[in-house]
Amino acid sequence: MAARKPATSRRKPKPKAKQKPLTARTADRHVLYQRAVQAPETDARFYDRWFRKYAGRPLRVLREDFCGTAVLACHHVKRHPDNRAIGVDLHWPTLAWGRIHNVRPLLSAEQQTRLSLLQKNVLDVRRPLADAILALNFSYSVFMTRSDLLAYIKNCHRSLQPGGVLFLDAWGGPDVLVAKTDKTRHKGFVYEWEQRAYDPINHRIQCAIHFAFPDGSRLRSAFFYDWRLWTLAELRELFVEAGFTTVDVLWEGTDQKTGGGNGVFRKTVRGGMDEAWIAIVVGQKAK
Ligand SMILES: C[S@@+](CC[C@H](N)C(=O)[O-])C[C@H]1O[C@@H](n2cnc3c(N)ncnc32)[C@H](O)[C@@H]1O
């Protein structure tokens, strides 16, 4: 039997390196965005579950449109050895950041072979045919006209397998139309969502994300969005026009304590007069 080492010779656990407080100079806007806005593991599970409900089979080939840093696509690939993902984004520097900070640390060499990142316009990608397409955080709102958004939704329809599903999230309610900045505290920084301008004539809306740090420094307009605010009625009509045979709205429930969303979505035909709401439009292609 090996002699037990005297307690004194045990190595002391290394004290955790004290992290320096974040400042505007040291922070990385993509890291902060991912921490404040995204929940990629939860989302990968969530969309897999809803896809199974619609298609009756597991979600294997996922296309993440407007993927940015592709962190959700990475988590989809990690979920199952047969899962594949295609991430599409126009912006090369953001995709490159995603490769370095998400793809390499999160995925093994084998898993990386099941992920393709395409620097392309979402309007120009059709193959490989996907089981599901996600366009999240309202990214499709870059399309300012009905005909442009219809072209996008039609392209998604063509890019799906029979029985495939397109998921778009949407937001609205009177609170969205008010010029204001909502602040949420996170570890080491404050996330600020600014609703800067809204034009009721053309439904254009300008929003920005800022980050504030304990030393008083700020990353102003770390992200800026010039969007059209689409209504659920318009989105539903466009899905039908694009050829989707089933079109549903998943409506988020309310947390009774906070009055905010509770993360639980149900298929709903009537929404409520909520101050602010988040919903998901689901379109399924004929099987
Ligand atoms: C709001 S970010 C979305 C990031 C991530 N998908 C999320 O859910 O948070 C929008 C992304 O869409 C990209 N983008 C905008 N227009 C595009 C287009 N026509 N085709 C592909 N990507 C586009 C931008 O480069 C940007 O990275």
pLDDT digits (tens, 9 = 90+) for 169-178: 999 999 999 9
Q: Please give the pLDDT value at position 15.
A: 63
Domain 29-171+230-284, architecture per CATH: 3-Layer(aba) Sandwich (3.40)
Q: Please give the pLDDT value at position 13.
A: 60
Q: Please give the pLDDT value at position 8.
A: 41
Q: How far is the CA of 63 from the centre of ligand 1 (A)?
A: 13
Q: Please give the pLDDT value at position 11.
A: 57
Q: Please give the pLDDT value at position 132.
A: 98
Distances (CA, A) of 143 to 58, 152, 168, 260: 31, 8, 13, 28
**By the 8 A CB rule, do 143 and 160 touch?**
no
Q: Is the CB of 91 under 6 A from ligand 1?
A: yes
Exposure b/e, 6-17, CB count within 10 A at least 16 = b:
eeeeeeeeeeee
Q: Is the CB of 38 under 6 A from ligand 1?
A: yes
Q: Rg (Cα) of the chain, in Å, rounded?
A: 21
Q: Tens digits of per-residue pLDDT, 16-36?
A: 667 789 999 999 999 999 999
Q: Which of 90, 118, 138 to mutate to test the pocket of ligand 1 (most atoms within 8 A of CB)?
A: 90
Q: Tens digits of per-residue pLDDT, 181-220?
A: 999 999 999 999 999 999 999 999 999 999 999 999 999 9
Q: Please give the pLDDT value at position 4.
A: 37
> Which residue's C-alpha comes closest to atom 22 of ligand 1?
89
Q: Please give the pLDDT value at position 233.
A: 98
**In the chain, which residues have pLDDT < 70?**
1-17
Q: Is the CB of 67 under 6 A from ligand 1?
A: yes
Q: Which of 41, 64, 66, 118 to mutate to test the pocket of ligand 1 (most atoms within 8 A of CB)?
A: 66
Q: Is the CB of 194 under 6 A from ligand 1?
A: no
The pair of three-digit structure tokens given for residue 241, joined into one six-digit string = 């026009």
Q: Please give the pLDDT value at position 1.
A: 34
Q: Please give the pLDDT value at position 63.
A: 98
Q: Please give the pLDDT value at position 6.
A: 39
Q: Please give the pLDDT value at position 35.
A: 97
Tell the burial category of 76 from Cβ atoms under 10 Å away from its Cβ (0-12, 13-18, 19+).
buried
Q: Is the CB of 169 under 6 A from ligand 1?
A: no
Sketch the domain layout of the chain as residue ranges.
29-171+230-284, 175-225
Q: Is the CB of 66 under 6 A from ligand 1?
A: yes
